[in-house]
Amino acid sequence: MNKYLKESFLWALIILPYVYLSTIWEKLPARVPTHFNLQGNPDDWSGKSTLLYLPGAMCLGIYLLMLIIPLIDPKKKIQQMGSKYYNLRLMLTFFMSILSIYILYISEVGSMKNPNLLIALIGILFAMLGNYFQTVRPNYFIGIRTPWTLESPETWRKTHLLGGRIWIAGGALIAILSFFIHDNNALAITFGVLISVMVLVPVIYSYIDFQKEKKI
């Protein structure tokens, strides 16, 4: 795909929340909920003009960050990733666009009684990132970056194979359970436990594998 066409597609994703916002703008009250408690009830409000900055901060913010990273990469590892890096940019920009639209929607309806869609989206993102991690090469910015994975290419490879599979399974489980657990407190606890496992297991494994490698 042409480079400019690829960038145009990313910009289309950035603009999409603003298209949605333009269709609901007149329906919005002067003050809209911008934060919700665990029960899904609004507990903070702002003027609706605040919503004008939200998609830009999320979508444009991640887009610009992903443009800057290759420029400050000291060993230019990111540039060597080629289309794989664009796929990551596409994945994150798409997610931020959908998330922005969802936040605009709940600001419109005024409540978030059922956060299962948001949790499911996050679970799907984790699963997609897990699949991506299994192919990513050592670098300073993307992946499971521990002192031990950065020190050993072999530990990096093994950790990302294991961690990627854990993230795929954990993300899929989060997405599925979000539609079966209807109590928000229980859903939050389940989410926290699964995230902890997804984060801690690869980190601990990278340390153990590196120590084994040193003894060989």
Angle of CA points 51, 53, 59, to nearest 5°: 110
- Residue 44 has a pLDDT of 76
- Of 149, 177, 172, nearest to 161 by C-alpha is 149
**What tens-digit pLDDT sequence spans the chain (216 residues)?**
578 888 999 999 999 999 999 999 988 888 888 777 766 677 778 888 888 888 888 999 999 999 999 999 988 888 888 889 999 999 999 999 999 998 888 888 877 766 788 889 999 999 999 999 999 999 999 999 999 999 999 999 999 999 999 999 999 999 999 999 888 888 889 999 999 999 999 999 999 999 998 876
User: SS3 for 174?
Assistant: helix
What is the Cα–Cα distance from 47 to 31, expressed in whole angstroms?
4
